[in-house]
Structure 1
Amino acid sequence: MVVELPDILIRRARREDLPALVAMFAADALGGHGDTTDPEAFQDYVRAFAVIEASPDQTLYVAERGGEVVGTFQTMVTTSLTGRGSSAMIIEAVQTRADMRGQGVGGLMIEFAIAEAKGRGIGRVALTSNAIRKDAHRFYERLGFKPSHLGFKMALK
């Protein structure tokens, strides 16, 4: 599915989008994911993109404006025995290019993901947000998300 709004196109990411995506993630000082534009690291992103692209349960999207990537997000569909075998769409890696924040790109991306979930008959969407991203938390709450769980992580490297 491709959604085109007045000047924003949301579509599946393509391999040629990787440099713009990597630059966007690397510019994120709060993320703490260790993303970098170092050319030696680029193959790590190429490998990850191949895994996502090959998965029937994962999709990487970009928001494009005037031919430039200005945002991105990824969706994953999981099915659990809980909730009588219900499925959920998890929205991850939501990022809007710094110069485009506050212009509605993030909201359009989330609306797109929710529409995709509804179109697939999925009854719940979920996302996580770094605990220090208070502005992002307010943004998600304005969109109708409710904080409901406490997340935990363990780095294995």
Structure 2
Amino acid sequence: MASGEIIIREAREADLPALIAMFAADPLGGHGDTNDPEAYPDYISAFTTIAASSHQTLYVAEREGDVVGTFQMMITTSLNARGSSAMIIEAVQTRADMRGQGIGARMIEFAIAEAKGRGVRLVQLTSNAARKDAHRFYERLGFEPSHIGFKMALK
């Protein structure tokens, strides 16, 4: 196990190369992530949109100055459940060489604490159906598989 404290902080634009590399290296992601420099403006645009939003935040997990994980949190409010808010955790990724070292748990625990601090009624996330290890991980942290998700690719 690597030494060093895991620090969770808001992502900075300077973190983008490390984040892009993590997503591009994910064989199951299937999101078209790439280290191709021609795609960099797309990532900058997305980062700018996220950073400007008061309802979503992109975080990194850092150990000894290296970005070793990331996740994004979004708060949504709906009329059902008497107008309560929910937190959606998205794009959870731990660098492949750092998995199994508690980084993912630290990120999810941070997100849950943030949700509690904001008075959110529910924390939810989705996980690729092929990620059986991730499903066991989320269940160990107290999440329950409760819904079936549907997606429609538009481009």
Alignment partner of 2:93 out of 89, 95, 106: 95
| Match in the other structure for 2:107 | 109
Consecutive aligned runs of 4 or more in structure 1 exceeding 4 Å deviation: none
What SS does the corresponding residue of 1:29 show, helix, strand or coil? coil
| Match in the other structure for 1:3 | none
Distance 1:35 1:131 in 2: 19
Structure 2 residue 10 is matched with structure 1 residue 40: no
User: Percentage identity across aligned positions?
Assistant: 78
Distance 1:33 1:142 in 2: 26
Distance 1:103 1:123 in 2: 29
Cα distance, 1:123 vs. partner?
1.5
Distance 2:139 2:6 in 1: 23
Write the mapping of 1:5-154 to structure 2, written as runs, cut at 5 A: 7-154=5-152
Cα distance, 1:56 vs. partner?
0.2
Deviations 1:113-151 (A, max 9, x none): 000000111121000000110000000000000000000
What SS does the corresponding residue of 2:101 show, helix, strand or coil? coil
Q: Residue type of the partner of 2:86?
A: A
Q: TM-score, normalized by length of structure 2?
A: 0.97
Cα distance, 1:7 vs. partner?
1.0
Number of residue pairs the alignment of both structures matches: 152
Q: Residue type of the partner of 2:37?
A: P
Distance 2:94 2:130 in 1: 17
Deviations 1:93-131 (A, max 9, x none): 000000100000000000000000001111210000001
Cα distance, 1:45 vs. partner?
0.2
Q: Residue type of the partner of 2:140?
A: R
Q: Structure 1 unaligned runs (5+)?
A: 1-5
Q: Residue type of the partner of 2:100?
A: G
